[in-house]
Amino acid sequence: PQRSYYINNVLRSESSFENNLQVGDYKEYHENGQLKTEGKFEDGERHGAWMEYDEAGKLITKSKYAKGKKAKS
């Protein structure tokens, strides 16, 4: 996976690419190291369940995507 970091060397995000398209698991972190966002990409688009968390690690939102489009709740 490709990783990016905040200036203080805390992990910012993890993602994978195939043929220049984002694929597979994606995770993004708050600057304090807590998970911020997690989900999956298929062919460069959000797909499946995506969750967002606050800086304390509490789930804020959960959304579903199909080929990059947010599903209606």
* Whole-number Å distance between alpha carbons of 15 and 24: 7
Q: Give me the residues paired with residue 48 across strands.
A: 65
Query: Residue 16's pLDDT is what?
Result: 97
Q: What is the pLDDT of residue 67?
A: 87
Residues 6+ apart with CB under 8 A from 9: none
pLDDT value at residue 73? 60
What is the distance between the alpha carbons of residues 55 and 23, in angstroms, rounded to a whole number? 26
- What is the chain's pLDDT, residue by residue, as a tens digit (73 residues)? 899 999 999 999 999 999 999 999 999 999 999 999 999 999 999 999 999 999 999 999 999 999 899 987 6
Burial of 35 per CB tally in 10 Å (0-12, 13-18, 19+): middle
